[in-house]
Amino acid sequence: MDTEVDPIGHIVYFAYVDVTGSSGENVFSRELVRALARQPGIRLSLIAPEPMHELPDDFRAPNVSLRFLPAKQRGSLWWSLRIQWTTLVQWLRARKDLGRTTGHVVTLRPGTLVPSLLSRVSRTPQVLVVEGLEARNVSRNASIPGASSVMSTIAWLNSVASTRVLVAYGAIRDWLGRMPLVDDSRLELFSHGVDPSLFPEWDLEEARRALELPVEPGDYVVGFVGSFKWYHSLEVLIGALARPEMSGVKALLVGDGPEREAITRLVQDHGIGDRVLQAGSVPHDQIAAYVGACNLMFGARAPEHWSNPIKLVEYLAGGRPVIGYRTEEAAFIEEHGLGVLLDEVTPESVSRAISTFRSAEAEEQVRVGVRARRHVFEHRTWGVLSRRVVQVLEGQGGG
């Protein structure tokens, strides 16, 4: 039996979310795991909560080992504590089955304690991925006094133990950069990505026919795909559609979540139910068709929220211009002529943005779509991000 260790070797990915879920954090871990598994020479162990849904087929690839933690209990301090021992056990089993670890990839969550210790003890390089301002998230979602301080301590422990810290947006970089002993040079912005195979090019009318949408040829449709949470600013989009100048514009809302009933009531209150289509939840691999059925996509999150929405990149991969909120991470959208960024998210500003695109020539809208797909597929795929992770780990040797 050939026991030679390849140059990259065995990577352990510590995910503390259900990789079969539909929110941005779930999609991120799922797609990055898939992209890492496709890198040449990789043996990948995934340590993650027991999934609630069926895993994608490529999670069953010969070079992927699945190590499950107890099913996640959202907001549960007890769950975050009790998985520490299980994480250690699963890590030991992964090393026994697939050999020594070349590197760790770790997503920062309240339960992220053991990986930083394992990296130190085993002298294994660690790439920490931070998608959100977790201290603020914890303080908003937990009623435990001091939860924010505890989360900051967890973030600090992992940051100082990491070879590289990949952060989703500038506010995270600023938060971690203020911590003692955290090397600013190790903090690096990353771009969310897409899987090009999930975003084939759709002609507008063909997509509408394929989905059997109740729209007429020539209708102008603004789309949204997401989990219907307060920070998605859907009430602002509905308010914009209710303005007199938007009388000929329709909306296609795809997804489900805590705010869906409230949005449905708001649509009824404004008397625009005939112009707002709700498709409900759809599988992630079908999103491209719904994006393709729209002229323009809405992704302007609430300014008071902290995030870098994956949906903006997915919209662009679908070949449609976007409306977003102005941030450092989203600046590329205007730099490359792929959409409009708002300084304030109001019905008036959204209405103006829609009018800008609606009045553009059809040929220009096609050109924007072509530019969007080219930019995303060249610079913002999960493959690009996974290669960056591997590059960091390869440069540091093994453990």
Contacts of 361 (CB under 8 A, 6+ apart): none
Q: How many domains does the chain have?
A: 2
In a domain, 86, yes or no: yes
In the chain, % of residues over pLDDT 90 = 77
Confidence of residue 139 (pLDDT cuts 50, 70, 90): low
CB 333 within 8 A of CB 379: no
In a domain, 4, yes or no: no
Confidence of residue 398 (pLDDT cuts 50, 70, 90): very low
Confidence of residue 23 (pLDDT cuts 50, 70, 90): confident
* pLDDT tens sequence across 66-80: 999 999 877 677 888
Q: Is 72 helix (H, G, I), strand (E, B) or coil?
A: coil
Of 81-90, 186-195, 261-270, 389-398, the poorest mean pLDDT is in 389-398
Provide the residue type at 13 as one letter. Answer: Y
Q: How far out from the chain centre does Cα 93 lie?
A: 29
In a domain, 336, yes or no: yes
Do 211 and 322 fall into the same domain? yes
* pLDDT tens sequence across 101-120: 989 999 999 889 999 999 99
Q: Is 252 exposed, middle or buried (0-12, 13-18, 19+ CB in 10 A)?
A: buried
**pLDDT: is 395 or 291 the higher one?**
291
pLDDT at 1: 33
Res 370 pLDDT > 80:
yes
Do 14 and 94 fall into the same domain? yes
- Kindly state the helix (H) or strand (E) to which residue 105 belongs, with its residue range: strand 101-107
* pLDDT tens sequence across 256-296: 999 999 999 999 999 999 999 999 999 988 999 999 999 99
Do 391 and 356 fall into the same domain? no
Do 359 and 390 fall into the same domain? no
Do 266 and 292 fall into the same domain? yes
In a domain, 339, yes or no: yes
In a domain, 291, yes or no: yes
Can you name the residues that pair with 47 across neighbouring β-strands?
14, 67
CB 29 within 8 A of CB 22: no
Distance CA(132)–CA(148), nearest Å, equals: 13
Average pLDDT value over all residues in the chain: 91
Of 2-11, 88-97, 174-183, 334-343, the poorest mean pLDDT is in 2-11
Confidence of residue 349 (pLDDT cuts 50, 70, 90): very high
Mean pLDDT of 182-192: 92
In a domain, 270, yes or no: yes
Do 223 and 117 fall into the same domain? no
Can you name the residues that pair with 84 across neighbouring β-strands?
none
Do 175 and 272 fall into the same domain? no
Res 151 pLDDT > 60:
yes
pLDDT at 58: 85
In a domain, 66, yes or no: yes
Do 238 and 178 fall into the same domain? no
Range of the domain at 332: 196-379
Do 228 and 149 fall into the same domain? no
Cα-based distances in Å from 234 to 14, 23, 25, 26? 33, 16, 20, 21
The radius of gyration of the chain's CA atoms, rounded to the nearest angstrom, is 22
In a domain, 2, yes or no: no
pLDDT at 133: 79
Contacts of 1 (CB under 8 A, 6+ apart): none
For residue 183, the domain's CATH number is 3.40.50.2000
Q: For residue 382, give the nearest of 30, 127, 50 by alpha carbon.
A: 30
The two counts, helices (H) then strands (E), for the chain are 15, 13
In the chain, % of residues over pLDDT 70 = 94
Of 206-220, 268-282, 314-328, 355-369, the poorest mean pLDDT is in 355-369
pLDDT at 363: 87
Do 181 and 81 fall into the same domain? yes
Res 4 pLDDT > 70:
no
Do 284 and 336 fall into the same domain? yes
Q: For residue 49, give the nearest of 103, 111, 114, 136 by alpha carbon.
A: 111
Do 309 and 285 fall into the same domain? yes
